[in-house]
Amino acid sequence: MSFEIKEKDLLARIGKLTTKTRTIETPLLLPVINPAKQLIPPKDFAKFGFKALITNAYIIKKQFEDKPIEKGLHSFLDFEGALMTDSGAYQILVYGDVEVNPAEIVDYQEQIGTDIATILDIPTGWDVTEERAKRTVNTTIGRAEQLFGQKTRNDILWVGPVQGGKYLNLVAASAKQMGKLPFDIHALGSPTEVMERYRFDVLVDMIMTAKANLPIQRPLHLFGAGHPMMFSLAVALGCDLFDSASYVLYAKQGRYMTENGTERIEELSYFPCSCPRCSGSDPKDVAQMLKPYVTTFLAEHNLYACAAELRRIKQAIKEGRLWEHMEIRAHSHPALLQALRGLSKYAVQLEKRSPASKGRAVFYYSHDGLSRPEILRYENKLAENYTQPRRNRTLVLVPQTRTKPFHKSQEHAFIENLLRKKLRIFSAVHICIYCAPFGVVPIELDEVYPLSQHEATMPMDEETKQFVSQQLAKYVGESDYGKVLLIDKPEDWGDTVLTSCRTICRRKRIKFQVLNLRKDTRSKEYNR
């Protein structure tokens, strides 16, 4: 097995995972298929863009016994791509038990020749006590340890599931123990019920806890990641593989997937999609067809919708704009937005793994973006690596401009002229720009990425103003200036910057002066 990472952004990666059958690209969705109920034949999934599928080894064993062993799983399903098998753990979650033991299901998966196999773990579930959750973790770890004395083939990739559910201390313990074992892939178990309750904030905690305690070089699979609107969140947190049966479950309910949610087909007047199924079709005509046709139509469209969203995510990773894509998707549902805001707890982990430089500008929409790696990284580097010019004892704080870099703007020329001719202090000053979302930008760093390679929404929200004001106070508080001149622009910043600077200067007994350009000058640039 090899897992080669090609591109990275946040904790996401585009990778190449090699199985005994073929090499597949991640992030990857594996549609769930039931061989006994094939709405769409496995061989047809390639036309939707899927090169790997997942099926249930326990169901196959129970319903077909030795036939898949005789033919081999790929021939039995008539599918040339990579195949992953689950072990029956989901049936344990739903029904409480299965009619097979861990050693039998390991042996069966080897006999049918799957590419990626899963041990028979015990799902934690949602409404369980911590004591019950602990037992699922310990039992799963015990079965995982036994695997390596049971398996006989070396060409199958084995998945080591992480259990613990909403009990993050147990998720961490499970991940640490699983990470010590020589699994090829890990999986986060028990997320389905979390997602069914739209507790994406809990899902974030579970994923990030698992990622922090697993070997970073191993792929992570997320069981039951059902809807394209949450794919970008999961990918951004480092999930490489997904499986889902939602494409067909939603179809049976008459539900039409989009990247932002689902719609009832009978309520649609237009198809907001140009996939082969939707192009040239009318929702009212489709809705009036017989139910089997409608179900198949919706299942195929849903597959196209899932595949399209994964392609968008990969392109966003490649361009270094996955945060923007994730933030846009988060506004599809309040629960997703809540989860996005919860990423502030993991800002350090995200910054550590995200690339330092990207090929695209940073788009800052609102305070929801304050946790993104570029902002934290700049804050850290400014504090750790930057030293103010010692010869310049007067700090001049200038508001951001639309033109970037600032020192090439008309406003900068105006400020220079103002400082020279009116105030006569230009040679002794150190100019810094205060801007959203980075806070303080010394003019000598003006062209460093991404300080001049960003766009911020105006007018700013109050949380952004407060953040920038805090960064200003922190910078002044840790510096050694004798005087601070604030060029204020209250129409953009209100009184947040003024109050913050005045307070820190009083505390440090620094001489403080304010110049309101709108009141004190006739600058067309600043008054426009």
Name which of 4-8, 151-155, 216-220, 358-362 the model is least confident about: 358-362
Q: Which residue of the set 86, 121, 368, 446 is catalytic?
A: 86
- Whether pLDDT at 146 is above 70: yes
Tell me the C-alpha distance between 104 and 94, whole Å: 20
The two three-digit tokens of residue 117, written as one number = 């196999």
Distance, CA of 262 to CA of 268 (rounded, Å): 11
Q: Is the pLDDT of residue 476 over 80?
A: yes
Of 188, 454, 236, the C-alpha closest to 336 is 236
User: What is the pLDDT of the chain when averaged over all its residues?
Assistant: 91
pLDDT confidence of residue 423: 63
What pLDDT is stored for residue 519 in this prediction? Answer: 52
Q: Quick one: pLDDT band at residue 477, thresholds 50, 70, 90?
A: very high
Q: Is the torsion defined by CA of 318, 324, 329, 335 positive or negative?
A: positive
User: If you ran DSSP here, which 8-state letter would residue 32 be given?
Assistant: B
CA 84 → CA 151, 241, 287, distances in Å?
Answer: 16, 11, 34
User: H or E segment at 516?
Assistant: strand 511-516
| Residue 169 in this model has a pLDDT that exceeds 70 | yes
Residue bearing the bigger pLDDT, 97 or 240:
240
Q: Is the pLDDT of residue 246 over 60?
A: yes
Question: What is the band of 241 on the pLDDT scale with cuts at 50, 70, 90?
Answer: very high
Structure letter (DSSP) for residue 423? I
Q: Is the pLDDT of residue 268 over 50?
A: yes
Mean pLDDT of all residues in 136-161? 95
What's the confidence (pLDDT) of residue 18?
Answer: 96
pLDDT at 470 over 90: yes
From the CB of residue 280, how many other CB atoms can be counted at a distance below 10 Å?
Answer: 8
Q: How far is CA 244 from CA 34, 228, 309, 383, in A?
A: 12, 10, 14, 45
Q: What percent of the chain has pLDDT over 70?
A: 96
Average pLDDT over residues 177-188: 97
Task: Say what percent of the chain tops pLDDT 90.
Answer: 79
pLDDT-derived band at 208 (thresholds 50, 70, 90) equals very high
**What is the average pLDDT across 469-485?**
94
Does the annotation count 86 as an active-site position?
yes
Look up residue 241 and give its amino acid.
L
Domains and CATH numbers, the chain: 2-352 (3.20.20.105), 362-527 (3.40.50.10630)
Residue with the bigger pLDDT between 159 and 1: it is 159
Q: Give me the pLDDT at residue 415, please.
A: 82
pLDDT in the model for residue 190: 77
pLDDT of residue 524: 43
* Cβ-contact 304, 283 below 8 angstroms: no
